[in-house]
Amino acid sequence: MSFASDVRGELARQSVTDACCARSELTAALLCAGGIAWRGRDRYAVTITAGEAPTVRRYFGMLKQFYGIIGQIRTLSGDALNNQTRYQLAVPEAETARLLAALDLLDKRALFGVRSVPAEETVRFACCKKAFARVAFLMCGAVNHPDRGYHIEIAAPTEALAYYIGDQLKYFGLNVKNTCRKSKFVVYLKRAEDISDMLSLLGASSAMLAFENVRVKKEVSNRVNRQLNCDSSNINRAVSAAEAQIRAIRYIDAELGLDKLPKPLREMAFARANNPEMPLAELGEQLEPVLGKSGVSARLRRLTDIADKLRSGEEIKL
Ligand SMILES: [Zn+2]
């Protein structure tokens, strides 16, 4: 089971009690699934097709409860290209005109007399807007498992419908983007927080919690990795500083002799040479008397300074 089908399963189980929302849902189901076919002269075939049986059963129940229509459910077996069983709910032809009129989907001026987006009055209240968005996702939505990158989308069959769906989501503050892909018109979101908001808006709260779990785990492990990388680059920097100090000490020993150095510098040089990887604070504890981190750092700088001057032939005052 994919994450997307978990979300669809959860959405298909949402109950609808208000007639206003049922009307909005059925309108969305017909428009998004592209299930209205013109049969000539005010005759239409109306079907709702989905990949999951619960989705189709949901609209069977809704048609019966709110419109007194008994639909027919059939199974469409997959073809050679797409070996997936699909489920279809067909509205009896004698009832299609009545249903389309009740949903206010008929419009003499529209292509084949059917609107491509709902009439203004159909999706009126916030509850109906939410219901519309839910069905748009149920019918043509997709969402990635959070492990596979953040993406949620609804791919509508027409551009007008895509913008209409986008408007319903924007009403709730989701700033969706539009794009076009393979003759589908897509509204999508890419930010993890937005996807989470959209899942809870649609009513997929269990899926939202699962999504958040993965997201939080991912973010914590990203932060830990960043911290580790940062720590190891600090360590690398410290190691390469120590290497430079040891090179300087060897050079001074070869060119000048460590015994020529004043006692504090000579002891510092021996301490470093004997403890190439020791942090500065601990290095200071090797000295007699104990020296603080900044004192150690100053003496080591003095040693590399002396080596630099020796290399360039400058005069050294010890
Ligand atoms: Zn409503």
Q: Which domains does the chain have, with CATH numbers?
A: 3-203 (3.10.28.10), 237-312 (no CATH)
pLDDT tens digits, 137-166: 999 999 999 888 899 999 998 899 999 999
Contact 133, 169 (CB under 8 A): yes
Over residues 236-257, the mean pLDDT reads: 85
Please check the confidence at residue 132 and state whether its pLDDT lies above 90. Answer: yes
Question: Residue 81: its pLDDT value, please?
Answer: 64
- Which tokens belong to 212? 């958040």
Q: What is the DSSP letter of 147?
A: G
CA of 238 to the centre of ligand 1 (A): 65
Q: What is the pLDDT of residue 176?
A: 93
Helix (H) / strand (E) containing 50: strand 44-50
Mean pLDDT of the chain: 88
Determine the average pLDDT of the residues in 165-174.
94
Residue 40 reports pLDDT greater than 80: no
- Pairwise CA distance, residues 274 & 317, whole Å: 26
Centre of ligand 1 from the C-alpha of residue 132, in Å: 9
For residue 103, the model assigns a pLDDT of 93
Q: Which residues, listed in sequence order, are joined to residue 181 by a DSSP beta bridge?
A: 184
Residue-level pLDDT at 136:
95
Asked whether residue 28 carries a pLDDT value surpassing 90, the answer given is yes
Which tens digit of pLDDT belongs to each residue from 78-119? 766 667 888 999 999 999 999 999 999 998 888 778 888 999
Q: How far, in Å, is the centroid of ligand 1 from the Cα of 71?
A: 23
Expressed in angstroms and rounded, the spacing between residue 254 Cα and the centre of ligand 1 is 89
User: Is the predicted pLDDT of residue 310 greater than 70, yes or no?
Assistant: yes
Give the alpha-carbon dihedral of 80, 54, 10, 160, to 10 degrees.
Answer: 70
How many angstroms is it from 67 CA to the middle of ligand 1? 16
Give the pair of three-digit tokens for residue 110. 């529209």
The alpha carbon of 11 and the centre of ligand 1 are apart by a number of angstroms equal to 16
Are 131 and 24 within 8 A, CB to CB?
yes
